[in-house]
A and B are shown apart, each in its own frame.
Chain A
Amino acid sequence: MPIVTDSQRSATRTQVRQAITQQNRHLPSIALSVTLLIAVTFTLLTLFSLLARIVTQAIPAFSERGVSFLSGTIGSEPDKVGIWPGLFGSFSIGIGVLLIAVPLGIGAAIYLEEYAEQNRLNRFVVVNIRNLAGVPAVIYGVLGLIIFVGWLKPVTNGGTVVAAALTLAILVLPVVIITSMEAIRAVPMGLRDAGYGVGASRWEVTRDHVVPYAMPGILTGTVLALARALGEAAPLIMIGAITGLLPETSLSGKFTAIPMLIYSWSGRPDSSGGNIGWSNAAAGAGLVLLALVLVFNIIGIFLRNHFEAKRVGT
Chain B
Amino acid sequence: MNGLLAVADLSGDPRRRAHDRRMQRLLGSSAFITIIISALILFVLARGSIDFLKSIGWDLGVLRDSSKAPGWFPRRERFDLITIVMGSVLMGSIAMLVAVPLGLGTAVYLSEFAPTRVRKILKPIVEVLAGIPSVIVGYFALKFIAPNIVDPIFSPDQSRNMVVAGLAIGVLVIPIMASISEDALRAVPSSLREASYGIGARKSTTTIRIVLPAAVSGIVAAFIIAVSRAIGETMVAAMAGGRDGSGPRVLDPLEPGLTMTAAMTNAAGGTDQVNSGAPFQVLFFVGLLLFMMTMGLNVIGDRFVQRVRQQY
Tell me the A residues contacting B by CB distance below 8 Å. 26, 28-29, 31-33, 35-40, 42-44, 46-47, 49-50, 53-54, 57, 103-105, 107-108, 110-112, 115-116, 124-125, 127-132, 134-143, 145-147, 170, 173-174, 177, 199, 201-204, 206, 224, 227-228, 230-234, 237-238, 240, 259, 262-263, 266-267, 279, 282-283, 286, 289-290, 293-294, 297
Considering only residues 281-312 of chain B, those with a C-beta below 8 Å from chain A are 283-284, 287, 290-291, 294-295, 297-299, 302
Chain A residues within an 8 Å CB radius of B231: 136
Chain B residues within an 8 Å CB radius of A290: 132-133, 136
A135-B292 Cα distance, complex, nearest whole Å: 9
Does B278 make an interface contact (CB < 8 A)?
Answer: no
Please state if A138 and B27 are interface contacts (CB–CB under 8 Å).
Answer: no
Chain B residues within an 8 Å CB radius of A267: 142, 239
A125 to chain B, nearest CB (A): 6
Please state if A231 and B105 are interface contacts (CB–CB under 8 Å).
Answer: no
Please state if A50 and B40 are interface contacts (CB–CB under 8 Å).
Answer: no
- Would you mind naming 21 contact pairs between A and B with Cβ atoms under 8 Å apart? A26-B202, A46-B171, A46-B174, A107-B31, A111-B30, A131-B299, A135-B291, A139-B232, A142-B268, A145-B268, A147-B40, A201-B16, A234-B134, A234-B234, A234-B238, A237-B268, A262-B135, A266-B143, A266-B239, A267-B239, A289-B135
Please state if B283 and A136 are interface contacts (CB–CB under 8 Å).
Answer: no
Please state if B134 and A233 are interface contacts (CB–CB under 8 Å).
Answer: yes
Q: Tell me which of B31, B126, B129, B143 contacts A112 (CB under 8 A).
A: B31
B104 to chain A, nearest CB (A): 8
A-B contact sample (9 more), CB < 8 A, given A115-B24, A262-B136: A36-B105, A49-B144, A134-B294, A138-B264, A139-B290, A237-B238, A263-B238, A266-B135, A282-B139
A26-B129 Cα distance, complex, nearest whole Å: 34
Does B189 make an interface contact (CB < 8 A)?
Answer: no
Q: Tell me which of A53, A111, A116, A238 contacts B268 (CB under 8 A).
A: A238
A244 to chain B, nearest CB (A): 10
Chain B residues within an 8 Å CB radius of A140: 41
Chain A residues within an 8 Å CB radius of B297: 134
Tell me the B residues contacting A by CB distance below 8 Å. 12, 16-17, 19-20, 23-24, 26-28, 30-35, 37-38, 40-41, 44-45, 48, 101-106, 108-109, 113, 122, 125-126, 128-129, 131-140, 142-144, 171, 174, 178, 202-205, 207-208, 225, 228-229, 231-235, 238-239, 261, 264-265, 268-269, 283-284, 287, 290-291, 294-295, 297-299, 302
Chain B residues within an 8 Å CB radius of A142: 41, 44-45, 48, 264, 268, 283-284, 287
Chain B residues within an 8 Å CB radius of A234: 134, 234-235, 238, 261, 265
A128-B290 Cα distance, complex, nearest whole Å: 17
Chain A residues within an 8 Å CB radius of B235: 233-234, 259, 263
